[in-house]
Amino acid sequence: MKTAYLYSPIFLEHEESGHPESPERLEEIMRVLKQTGVLARLVALDPIPATDAQIIAAHTREHLARVQELCARGGGHFDADTYANARSHDAARLAAGALVRAVDAVMNREVDNAFALVRPPGHHATRQRAMGFCIFNNIAIGAQNALAAHQLERVLIVDYDVHHGNGTQDIFYRSPRALYFSTHQYPHYPGTGNWDEIGEGEGRGYTVNVPLPPGVGDAGYQLVFDDLLFPLAERYRPQLILVSVGFDAHWRDPLAMESLSLAGYTSLARTLIEIAREMCDGRIVFALEGGYDLDVIANGVASTFRALLGDEEISDPLGATKRATRDVREYVEQLKGAHRLV
């Protein structure tokens, strides 16, 4: 199995002292990948900056201009949570371009699958604004490239960051060419992603939100993937799967209150890889979103790479939560009914 990673030290130059979305996240990931020997098994792909046309496929020209202007002035804030410095435009453009490069490599069979280790993250960035630590919507730009450059008709985007990817939903809310599926803690930032947000116009039915209460652990998440995501994917028959993965649903993450373990995360990744194998010849690309405990995100990324490489063993040095977790079986049945899966 040829599995690629995409990374650049330019991603470390986007920083603000004390902010949880820090360069240390990627630094720790790279350290653990080297230490565990995973990095030596991967194919390195150099990201290329996204072009204006590629960015504008997912964002307005005005949004791109605001990012360029703020960074040209040395930086500032788009909102209370989302910063930029003089290098943030370059980092964000390269992060978006990493998804374009990864999609091209997978579609052209240069590699079998890929994981873009990028920052700033992207799934909160809407067509018109940066927010939630995100400047450009990396996964959406990658999806638009897949649809345009590779003439695809159906891309499945799975988002299991603990926060709802409101930006990705916004960009594809009226399109049937992307099926957006999100699991997220609710109510939680950014306050969107209720189950009845299902798309509009031609896109009605192509947005599937699974808002979860705090404390849903491995078994509950796996049930959602097995009983809801898998049959939805079978019905949709994607030609490519793109994954926004955040490791902030882990029980140790400081910004949320879900109860996934690293073993649970690896099982979810394996489920997605199996869906890709069955439905789109294994074509799958992961993109890094959130996750703010350094041990969790580094070991979680390493475990996801092992799943992409086809390893059977699961490594979870942090173990499972000791808190009780929620039973969501009845809730999943209700969502299956809402999406005509029963």
Burial class (CB in 10 A: 0-12, 13-18, 19+), 160: buried
Spell out the residues 6+ positions from residue 308 whose beta carbon is closer than 8 angstroms to its own: 1, 3, 113, 115, 269, 273, 284, 286
Q: Which of 34, 5, 242 is nearest to 111 (CA)?
A: 5
- Please tell me which residue in 89, 123, 124, 164 is annotated as part of the active site: 124
CB 75 within 8 A of CB 89: no
Rounded distance, CA 34 to CA 30, Å?
6
Q: Does residue 124 carry a catalytic annotation?
A: yes
Phi, psi for 219 (deg, rounded to 5): -65, -40
Instruction: Tell me how crowded residue 86 is: count the other CB atoms within 10 A of its CB.
Output: 14
Three-state DSSP class for 209? strand
Residues catalogued as catalytic: 124
